[in-house]
Amino acid sequence: MSSPKQVRELVKFTIQKFKKIDILINNAGTNVDNLSLRMKDEEWKKVIDINLTSTFLLSKNAIKKMLKNKYGRIVNITSIVGHTGHLGQSNYSASKAGMVAMSKSLAIEYAKKNITVNCVSPGFIVSDMTSNLPEKVKDQLTSRIPMARLGNGDDVSNCVAFLSSETTSYVTGETIHVNGGMYMA
């Protein structure tokens, strides 16, 4: 959903149904892996549009509504590879790193308005994106994770719930890494 018109329609629908927006979780993610020299322009654009542009557009439109409420929580789901890079994922890595930097800027812009903007940066999580990996690759990844396992959806969602709560009203512009110790900032 990287079309400004689609985003405005979604926000309008949400306001009609729920009357306000308190929390926005930007969890869009796609990957089209290829070595940078072989990456087609369309592969770059698709990943940037879905992962980064949609996050910006949804945040921008939700913030307009949050300002009226004088309250908001935005949590952006990034990725470990936005901090480390990864073979064949220059587009994906750039999109996820861009989310972190954008989140810091939004956090600075709206902190005084009681709107927090944070990131959750998962490592390798059991999901559709990792289900196609050969067992040998999963074993190699697991061997690099101090907790010796891939994460699961609850590992990520518990962190998102924490950052979405009133408990974290003094936390903004931060990234929490949920990766079993594979990457420590």
Q: Which of the residues 92, 110, 170, 183 is marked catalytic?
A: 92
Q: What is the mean pLDDT of residues 128-140?
A: 84
Does 137 reside within a domain? Answer: yes
pLDDT interval class at 74 (50, 70, 90): very high
Does 19 reside within a domain? Answer: yes
SS3 per residue for the chain: CCCHHHHHHHHHHHHHHHCCCCEEEECCCCCCCCCCCCCCHHHHHHHHHHHHHHHHHHHHHHHHHHHHHCCEEEEEECCCHHHHCCCCCHHHHHHHHHHHHHHHHHHHHHHHHCEEEEEEEECCECCHHHHCCCHHHHHHHHHCCCCCCCECHHHHHHHHHHHHCHHHCCCCCCEEEECCCCCCC
Residues 27-65 pLDDT 10s: 988 888 889 999 899 999 999 999 999 999 999 999 999
Q: Is 92 a catalytic residue?
A: yes
- How many domains does the chain fold into? 1
Does 123 reside within a domain? Answer: yes
Does 152 reside within a domain? Answer: yes
Does 103 reside within a domain? Answer: yes
Does 151 reside within a domain? Answer: yes
Residue 120 in this model has a pLDDT that exceeds 80: yes
CATH of residue 117: 3.40.50.720
Does 184 reside within a domain? Answer: no
Domain that holds residue 56: 4-178
Percentage of residues in the chain with pLDDT exceeding 70?
Answer: 99
Q: What is the mean pLDDT of residues 72-99?
A: 95
Question: What was the pLDDT predicted at 131?
Answer: 80
Does 185 reside within a domain? Answer: no
pLDDT interval class at 2 (50, 70, 90): low
